[in-house]
Amino acid sequence: MLFPQFDPVAFSIGPLVVRWYALAYILGLLGGWYYARRLAMDARLWPAHVKAPTPEQLDDLLVYAAFGVVIGGRLGFVLFYHPAYFAANPLEIFQVWKGGMAFHGGLFGAGVAVFLWARRNGLNPFSMLDIAAAVAPLGLMLGRIANFVNGELWGRVSDVPWAFIFPVAGPQPRHPSQLYEAATEGLLLLIILAIVVRKNGFAHPGRIAGLFGIGYAATRIFCEFFREPDRHLGFLAGGWVTMGMLLSVPMALVGFWLYTRAGKQAVTA
């Protein structure tokens, strides 16, 4: 089927133009902030030995997380996807309005920001990583939907009935891999982590964050089999591995470390 031509601009107010991708970031941060506040205020989710953040503290965390996502996402894009270009054009690194963000870099930046914020506020950094991980899939889902609306990051050529012909990708129908990622990295992971949270997940600091790392890595690698690799990179390491797969491996390892660490902490507590 032919890809519908969406207007890349979500809305404009006078000279202010808001594009779908920017709107996804804004809604993801605000939606995550609201969800995090709800989790923090639910006393049933927090055992006596784990201090929950106050809703007011989470207001400050939103600012930290926003800067972490933008700085980390941009640096990840520069270092992993276009290092030679930005080495020759260093001033363009700061031109974030031209686009170019990497999720793995944004996640790392957000993680560092949450960790520093927790230390500053006298809270357990691993517990705060848990609450951030529980809400992160919401932003992922919105971001991938925005990718689909923009007609970017399309999938590989396919003959499945729901394949789309993306005009900028050529005449062949392709997997709507953006929607696969929205459904798995976003919605599915959001539901799984919500279930774990409600089964005393915050009692083991780092467990939710570990599950997020493992879950995201697994779903991202799965979706990479349907997603067209970046043209300037292509396939790596033998002709079937993509950059998204490679970057997901250390994420899975860190997630596994966080999960096992949480279990050991629970045993020794």
The torsion angles phi and psi of 124, rounded to 5 degrees, stand at: -65, 115
How far apart are the C-alpha atoms of 194 and 81, rounded to whole Å?
33
What confidence score (pLDDT) does residue 268 get? 42
> 130-151 burial, b if ≥16 CB within 10 A, otherwise e?
bbbbbbbbbbbbbbbbbbbbbb
Q: Classify 89 as helix, strand or coil.
A: coil
- Distance CA(104)–CA(112), nearest Å, equals 12
Joined tokens for residue 99:
């686009």
Tokens coding 201: 């997940």
Whole-prediction pTM value?
0.86
Q: How many CB atoms lie within 10 A of CB 83?
A: 11
Beta-bridge partner residues of 241: 236
Task: Provide the token pair at 207.
Answer: 């467990």
Quote the pLDDT of residue 163: 96
Cα–Cα separations (whole angstroms), residue 133 to 28, 35, 53, 114: 13, 11, 15, 10
**Could you state, in chain order, the average pLDDT of each consecutive group of 10 residues for the chain (269 residues)?**
78 78 84 93 90 88 85 85 82 74 82 91 93 93 91 93 92 96 97 94 93 96 93 75 91 95 65
The predicted structure's pLDDT at residue 77:
83
Cβ-proximal residues to 171 (8 Å cutoff; 6+ apart), any chain:
165
Asked if 154 and 178 touch (Cβ cutoff 8 Å), the reply is yes
Residue in the structure block whose two tokens are 């007011």: 56
Judge whether 109 and 75 are in contact, CB under 8 Å. yes
Q: Which amino acid is at 18?
A: V
Q: What is the pLDDT of residue 267?
A: 46
Separation between Cα atoms, residue 227 and residue 233, nearest integer Å: 13
- Greatest CA separation for the chain: 60
| Residue 201 identity | G
Q: How many CA atoms lie within 13 A of 170 on its CB side?
A: 9
pLDDT at 266: 54
Q: Which residues contact 238 (CB under 8 A, 6 or more apart)?
A: none
pLDDT at 269: 42
